[in-house]
Chains A and B, each alone.
Chain A
Amino acid sequence: GENVEQHPSTLSVQEGDSAVIKCTYSDSASNYFPWYKQELGKGPQLIIDIRSNVGEKKDQRIAVTLNKTAKHFSLHITETQPEDSAVYFCAARSLNSGNTPLVFGKGTRLSVIA
């Protein structure tokens, strides 16, 4: 089955700097890679996703890149703000395999220092 590794587990950056979180996956059949932001005491919220037919996707300060050959994908947050502080999870699954669930990474706790 799919295995998703996520690094780093914790990340501290100064406000205004960029933050990068990296994930690798094992199943070459996976073709959907979402990223979730979870604030304390709340459920995860989808912030961006990418499908395997593209290599990069951007939404304002957030971008995700995908390297299918190397089986890794990354989240990039530019111009970080204190409200970006949260736990971020990457995930992977195949959209072609029925109801297979998302497989999550272990999460990255991002702290943006003002």
Chain B
Amino acid sequence: GAVVSQHPSRVICKSGTSVKIECRSLDFQATTMFWYRQFPKQSLMLMATSNEGSKATYEQGVEKDKFLINHASLTLSTLTVTSAHPEDSSFYICSARGTGVRSGELFFGEGSRLTVL
């Protein structure tokens, strides 16, 4: 099946630093990827929709200057949390939309747990 790889799986950083999370579709091209944030025992909250070659579309309340998204190729999208603070600590999950016969299906990465000290 379609595979989405997310890296790193865990990251700990100091307050004020920036952290980059990568999301790769390994066996299919993804023109659209989505970034979610998940707090403990809660559902997935959509942060932004990432389209290859264009600017990301952010959901209401998500700071685009804080959560930089780049989708430079058909297999890679990155999320950079800039000037991270403890309240940014969360589980970040990317997903990619399938193609061809699996168009419409959404495949998720394994998630990245960010801890900001």
Contacts and interface: CB of A to CB of B under 8 A. Distances in A.
8 contacts: A34-B106, A36-B108, A43-B110, A46-B107, A89-B43, A89-B44, A99-B49, A107-B43
Given A99-B32, A101-B34, A45 B108 contact: yes
Given A41-B113, A43-B110, A99-B32, A106 B42 contact: yes
Nearest to B34: A101
Contacts of A32: 104
Contacts of B6: 43
B105 A34 contact: yes
A61 interface: no
Interface string A74-114: 00000000000000010101010001011011110100000
Which bucket holds chain B's interface residue count? 20 to 34
Contacts of B103: 95
Contacts of A105: 43
A64 to B, nearest CB: 14
B69 interface: no
Nearest to B108: A43
A43 B51 CA distance: 21
Interface in B22-78: 32, 34, 41-44, 46, 49, 51
Given A42-B111, A89-B43, 11 more contacts: A34-B105, A41-B113, A42-B110, A43-B95, A46-B106, A95-B104, A99-B51, A99-B97, A102-B106, A104-B44, A105-B43
The 9 A-B pairs with the shortest beta carbon distances in the complex, nearest first, are A43-B108, A43-B111, A95-B104, A43-B110, A106-B43, A44-B108, A43-B93, A104-B43, A99-B32
